[in-house]
Amino acid sequence: MTSARSGRPRRRRRTVLALAALVTVVAATASGCVTMPKQKTGAAPAWAPISAEDTVAVVRQYDRLQSKAVRTRDADLLRSVESGPLLRAGQGAMRVALGLDPEGRSALMSPKRSGTLAHLPRFSGYPVWFLAVSATEQPPGQATGQGSGKGTGKGDRKVVDLMTRPRAGSTWKAAQSVVLDEGARLPALAERGGAPVALPAADAGTLIRPADKTASAYALLLTGGPKSPQAWAFAPHPQTDRAQQSAAQKVRSTAFVYRHRYEVTSVRALATADGGALVLFTLNEIENFQAKGSAPLEFDRTDPVAAYTGYRTGQTLVRATWVWQVVARVPAKGKGDGKVHLLGVDRGLASVQAK
DSSP string, 102-128: TT--S----PPEEEEEEE---BSSSSE
Q: Higher confidence at residue 173 or residue 71?
A: 173
- Enumerate the H helices of the chain as residue ranges: 2-30, 38-41, 52-72, 75-79, 84-100, 211-224, 238-251, 304-309
Average confidence (pLDDT) over 72-79:
95
Q: Would you say residue 173 lies in a domain?
A: yes
A 10 A CB-CB count for 54 gives 13
Q: Is residue 44 part of a domain?
A: no
Domain that holds residue 67: 52-354
| Domain membership flag for residue 97 | yes
131-150: pLDDT as tens digits? 999 999 755 444 444 455 45
User: Using one digit for the tens of pLDDT, what is the confidence trace for 227-239?
Assistant: 999 999 999 999 9
Question: What pLDDT, on the 0 to 100 scale, is given for residue 21?
Answer: 40
Contact predicate 325/265, CB 8 Å: no
pTM score of the predicted model:
0.83
Is 32 domain-assigned?
Answer: no
* 269 strand-pairing partners: 279
CB neighbour class for 202 (10 Å; exposed up to 12, middle 13-18, buried from 19): exposed
319 lies in some domain: yes
Spatial neighbors of 21 by CB under 8 A, at least 6 apart, are none
3 located within any domain = no
Q: Is residue 127 part of a domain?
A: yes
Counting the structural domains of the chain, the total is 1
Q: Which of 42-56, 78-92, 118-132, 207-221 is predicted least confidently? A: 42-56
The answer on pLDDT for 28 being more than 70 is no
Q: 10 Å Cβ neighbour count for 258? A: 16
Query: For residue 108, what pLDDT is reported?
Result: 79
Separation of alpha carbons 349 and 307, rounded Å: 11
Decide if 10 is inside a domain.
no
Residues 158, 180 contacting (CB under 8 angstroms): yes
Spatial distance between the Cα atoms of 257 and 295, rounded to a whole number of angstroms: 12
